[in-house]
Structure 1
């Protein structure tokens, strides 16, 4: 929302906003642009009849006083995705959807188009290297790249966000219902994607991952003859001395990324670019130096044949997949994996049990739960440790609860012949990853 506010102000619109909490970096960026509210909180008097529209974010609930005032005054109320559609209605809208891989695929497309000097607008879910903001809207670009979200548009609108974009080109990378992070039922979750296919404009194009059985099933059940369908598969590849090479005809294209998920993402990104008129040679020349989005297997450092990667761990499946990718890329090396768990995923309900066997492929497993982030004093850390040990049941399992003890463990670890993967859904407890890697290499 703050990215959108800044973008619209730069286009010359008069913009105001409200929230009950504004944190960094949003606060500093809004202040720099003169858009930071003088007071936090909601005040119905801020909503006046001369307003052209109100854009409703997920944070504002249905009983919000400013929302109610806008409804009373019959001011046009947009959900975030509705407004994005209105601003891109005359553009070629490319919507990247799927349970995971969206950010990586769209960042690959953005990387290629930027290298080729193509103008485009975009909406992404994370700050990407080489791009100043998460949203860019202009009056000149004729392409709009959108990271499609399958969750609810707003507190008063239970439609999925990506149902509003009406793509000219749509991609579905995969569909994986996971009750670890998904509040919808499995049936409801799958329905979001079925409906998404129906929102593609006539003569539009659906690009889909033929290796994903659920995607294949939904594509088979939504046989709309008005749209084109173009499937893609995991490309052929080889790994030599830690470098992945894509087989493209007679050529072998060296990449700076690894893992089957990333290679599948490359195939999806290529297919989108192909429909945008990018030639094959142009795409593969541009993708050679793509490193990664911030969401998947980010290289940190290397030393004497050892490598350190960091990754974003939001589900047990992601943890397992990332471990497998590193082991496949470096089969001659052992792997030390550190997973930082959110303490509330450990203490609440049956979340933790879903991590069973998720670290089995790693040679050494470290589970880190920062006890300083547990606010409730009545939670007994010993009970947490017992639950973790019982679930993971790894033959080489270490459980740590303080960042200092984690750093000390890494310093004392004999890293000869080992690589390291550090995964977190938090902020690595403030640990500087470059310094952390240096301690691993000691």
Structure 2
């Protein structure tokens, strides 16, 4: 097949392009800007556009399909040309569904935890040499790409994102997958620029639950009240399989998971990750992996990229970075680190970066999120607020939202960097949380500071 990608440079889009190239498809693409690592990875396979920009002449009648990324605008010149020629246009999730119509689709949904749970499942399957197709939102150890598609594999495991499908398809991605086996990890209001009310946001998960193929199943976090309410209210003819956080202990900075064979040391930590592990376990069992095989494999799982990822360590200090940015994720991650290292000074640094985090009403949900940390700071760039065309957010608003009197607030990159590098890291943990880049903070310099 001949496929053209409009906005090929995104994390998800370029991985899909690489997967289809690996499958033998002929791939072209365009984008107005492409950053690393997408740029190098596309170039390595000969898929990097010769010039950045949009070129309608790339759209021609010999194309079998166009895949449209969220980065493009509805009036994109290449999109208009494809519409004019009547070429089939897919969103990213639509195309994944087309590739998996004859497979058993396993879809992991939820406001938080879905990347980690999907990663755990794939780690276990890979450990036991079980081949599946997949799409996951982070780079994993042992996997070349974030997307893998074949003709022969029976299962496909999909991370089910609730964000929009494309500029011309405003449906959440996970509404399009029609799972046979599903999981729902948690519901905490996010993407408020798209879902302006909590009720509207929750409704998307009800639609997801009702989209499960009749006779299928949903494994759900019964400890999350909204998830419990959504799943148990659904009249869809599916099996409903609740899970909850397993028993565990923490001893000398090591988390021990209770198993039928006794306590087992694991690499991940925190109540939210143990809950994720429980969900992954039941999905793996639904896919034919027995309990003992699951435990054997999960003992070696070290985490997904940017999800409580350890980036530096010495005898008395460890540094983690985490993708956490929404209030529930920040609270869970900070609490997990303090629980794992109760006798160390936890220095938590949060960058506010997303559209939601600059909304005055949404800000209030951060109350107490950083309280488990011994030292807490919030960094944001006023320019980021202006770029998003939002009302000014003041340090006073931040302080009132978090309601922590000793919270340190930074609005300049240099001042934030000075703060990070001036801390004492003897018997400490540095936790960096953001979906951005901390104002250009050089993580390699932090690594050198800790490990030298």
Provide the rounded CA distance (Å) in 1 between the counterparts of 2:172 and 2:160: 9
CA contact (8 A) 2:255 2:268 kept: yes
5+ long unaligned stretches in structure 2: 1-12
| 2:440 corresponds to 1:413 | no
Q: Which residue of 2 aligns with 1:108?
A: 120
Per the alignment, in what secondary structure is the counterpart of residue 446 of structure 2?
helix
Q: 2:75 aligns with which of 63, 78, 83?
A: 63
Q: 2:228 aligns with which of 210, 216, 219?
A: 216
Q: Deviation of residue 441 (structure 1)?
A: 8.0
| 2:374 corresponds to 1:363 | yes
Trace 1:43-442 onto structure 2 (pairs within 5 A): 43-178=55-190, 183-225=195-237, 227-342=238-353, 352-369=363-380, 384-433=394-443, 435-436=445-446, 439=449
Provide the rounded CA distance (Å) in 1 between the counterparts of 2:187 and 2:379: 29
Q: Deviations over 1:327-360 (max 9, x none)?
A: 2222233322122333987877555454343322
Q: Deviation of residue 105 (structure 1)?
A: 0.3
Provide the rounded CA distance (Å) in 1 between the counterparts of 2:179 and 2:385: 43
Provide the rounded CA distance (Å) in 2 between the counterparts of 1:154 and 1:166: 18
Q: Deviation of residue 147 (structure 1)?
A: 0.5
Q: Which residue of 1 aligns with 2:7?
A: none
Q: CA RMSD in A?
A: 2.9
5+ long unaligned stretches in structure 1: none
Per the alignment, in what secondary structure is the counterpart of residue 302 of structure 2?
coil
Provide the rounded CA distance (Å) in 1 between the counterparts of 2:266 and 2:432: 22
Q: TM-score, normalised by structure 2?
A: 0.87
Per the alignment, in what secondary structure is the counterpart of residue 27 of structure 1?
helix
Q: Deviation of residue 274 (structure 1)?
A: 0.2
CA contact (8 A) 2:111 2:190 kept: no
Provide the rounded CA distance (Å) in 2 between the counterparts of 1:418 and 1:166: 46
Q: Which residue of 1 aligns with 2:10?
A: none
Q: Deviation of residue 142 (structure 1)?
A: 1.8
Provide the rounded CA distance (Å) in 2 between the counterparts of 1:87 and 1:16: 18
* Cα separation, partners in 2 of 1:437 and 1:141, compared to 1, 3 Å: same
* Cα separation, partners in 2 of 1:356 and 1:55, compared to 1, 3 Å: same
* Cα separation, partners in 2 of 1:395 and 1:417, compared to 1, 3 Å: farther
Q: Deviation of residue 222 (structure 1)?
A: 0.9
CA contact (8 A) 1:174 1:215 kept: yes
* Cα separation, partners in 2 of 1:310 and 1:42, compared to 1, 3 Å: closer
Q: Greater shift after overlay, 407-416 or 211-220? A: 407-416
Provide the rounded CA distance (Å) in 1 between the counterparts of 2:31 and 2:444: 35
Q: TM-score, normalised by structure 1?
A: 0.89
Per the alignment, in what secondary structure is the counterpart of residue 223 of structure 1?
coil
Q: Deviation of residue 176 (structure 1)?
A: 1.4
Provide the rounded CA distance (Å) in 2 between the counterparts of 1:435 and 1:296: 20
Q: 1:5 aligns with which of 6, 17, 27?
A: 17
CA contact (8 A) 2:267 2:301 kept: yes
Q: Deviations over 1:52-91 (max 9, x none)?
A: 2222222233323322332232222222111111111222
Q: Greater shift after overlay, 427-436 or 355-364? A: 427-436
Q: Which residue of 2 aligns with 1:22?
A: 34
Q: Greater shift after overlay, 104-113 or 64-73? A: 64-73
Provide the rounded CA distance (Å) in 1 between the counterparts of 2:88 and 2:196: 29
* Cα separation, partners in 2 of 1:64 and 1:413, compared to 1, 3 Å: closer
CA contact (8 A) 1:122 1:146 kept: yes
Provide the rounded CA distance (Å) in 2 between the counterparts of 1:213 and 1:335: 30
Q: Give the number of the structure whose alpha-carbon radius of gyration is greater.
A: 1
Provide the rounded CA distance (Å) in 1 between the counterparts of 2:96 and 2:358: 39
Q: Deviation of residue 321 (structure 1)?
A: 1.8
Provide the rounded CA distance (Å) in 2 between the counterparts of 1:133 and 1:53: 22
Q: Deviations over 1:73-122 (max 9, x none)?
A: 22222221111111112222111100010100010011111111111111
Provide the rounded CA distance (Å) in 1 between the counterparts of 2:202 and 2:359: 26
